[in-house]
Structures are given as C-alpha cells and as structure tokens.
Amino acid sequence: MGIEAGDGALIRIVDIALVEAARKSGPWLACRVGCTQCCMGPFAITELDALRLQNGLAELSASDPCRAERVRERARRYVQRTARDFPGDPTTGLLAEDEGAEARFAEFGDDEPCPALDPETGACDLYAARPITCRTFGPPVRIGTETMAICELCFQGVSDAEIAACEVVIDPDGLESALLDELGARGETIVAFALAR
C-alpha cells in the first residue's frame, strides 16, 4: 500500500473511532466550530501529518487560491516570528529530540494561533487534511496503551469512570507507525513549518 492510500485508510480508521467517541461522549463534548482553544500554541505533528496538510493546501490552492495564499502567509509570518526561538532546526522545521527539547517546546509559542485557523470564522481552512492530533483532541481516546489528554472544556463535572466509558482506541493495528516507517520519517515538526514552504 502506498503512503497516500495508507494515509487515507488511517484517516478513515481514526474518523470512524472518533464518531463512536462523539456518540459515547454526547453533550459532554464541547468541540464546535469557533471553539479555538486547541488551535492556540504549537503541537508536534508527524511527517505524515505534514504531507497530508501540504496536499490539503495544494487542493485548496486549486479550488480557492486566495484562501490558500492566506493560509501560506499566516504560516510564513508564524515561522518568521518564532524562528529564533524554535526548539529545533528552523531551516528544516524538524523539532529537536535532545534531552532538553521537551522543556524548550513547552515554553515555545503558546499564544500563536495555528496558521490553518481562519481568524475571521474560527474554522480550520484545512479541516479535511488536519493532523491526527487535531482529529483526536477533545474526546477520550487511547493510542496503543497511552490514554491521550482530553480537552479541559469537555467533560465538566464528569467522573473519571464516566470519561473512561467514553474512551475509544484509535489505530489499533499501528498503521500510522508503519506508514511513518515506510515514509522514512526523520522526526516531527509543527503546522507552520509544514505549510510555510
């Protein structure tokens, strides 16, 4: 299976799991268009996510070139503003993996909005091509043995047991890892560096 076909399969698997998570979570899930808390500050994405975003931006360029250029310009400005403090290689956009990298990343760009976020509408201009992190943030999900954090706006006043009852497993067969191996992924980056090119 090629990278693009494999990524399409991965997205279908994740999206199906998230539909189930949303069904289980019901009104406890606060995620809606315009709620942009999860769109603030950088987060690490895989090279597979970056490739998907770049393909999504290319598709947007074909259908709405002006909107695509606004995304690119927001990404370029983000990179310009943050390159000096970027916790990695600002030339390649790859995040550092040394001992202090996690601490440097935790302090980096907290107030920066994601360049894919349309500041006027509060919607993601690349929603269909969004990274796995964006797809899975909000409801309780588990990847392998690791339970991911849920959005602090969701599940207000709900017990840990009720949250656990809503949890779903995404990518149970490790397809993302296999695709990253096939891609020869060198590390992680952030959305701005993926889109500024």
What DSSP character marks residue 51?
A: H
Query: Parallel, antiparallel, or unpaired: how do β-strands 141-143 and 146-147 relate?
Result: antiparallel
| Nearest one of 156, 153, 114, 120 to 133, comparing CA atoms | 114
How confident is the model at residue 151, as a pLDDT? 86
How confident is the model at residue 57, as a pLDDT? 98
pLDDT of residue 163 exceeding 80, the answer is yes
Distance of alpha carbon 183 from alpha carbon 4, whole angstroms: 10
Distance of alpha carbon 57 from alpha carbon 79, whole angstroms: 17
Distance of alpha carbon 135 from alpha carbon 105, whole angstroms: 21
pLDDT of residue 94 exceeding 90, the answer is yes
Query: Cβ of 7: how many Cβ atoms within 10 Å?
Result: 22
What is the pLDDT averaged over residues 98-127?
92
The residue whose two tokens read 């392998």 is: 144
**Which residues, including other chains, have CB under 8 Å from residue 154's CB and lie 6 or more apart?**
25, 28, 29, 30, 31, 138, 139
pLDDT of residue 109 exceeding 90, the answer is no
Query: Parallel, antiparallel, or unpaired: how do β-strands 146-147 and 168-170 relate?
Result: unpaired
Tell me the residue type at 122: G
What percent of the chain is predicted at pLDDT more than 90?
Answer: 76
Distances (CA, A) of 20 to 132, 139, 177: 16, 10, 23
Distance of alpha carbon 36 from alpha carbon 47, whole angstroms: 24
How confident is the model at residue 74, as a pLDDT? 98
Angle at 147 between CA 142 and CA 152, to 5 degrees: 110
Q: Which two tokens mark 138?
A: 């909000």
| Nearest one of 147, 154, 150 to 169, comparing CA atoms | 147
pLDDT of residue 107 exceeding 90, the answer is no
pLDDT class for 92, splitting at 50, 70, 90?
Answer: very high
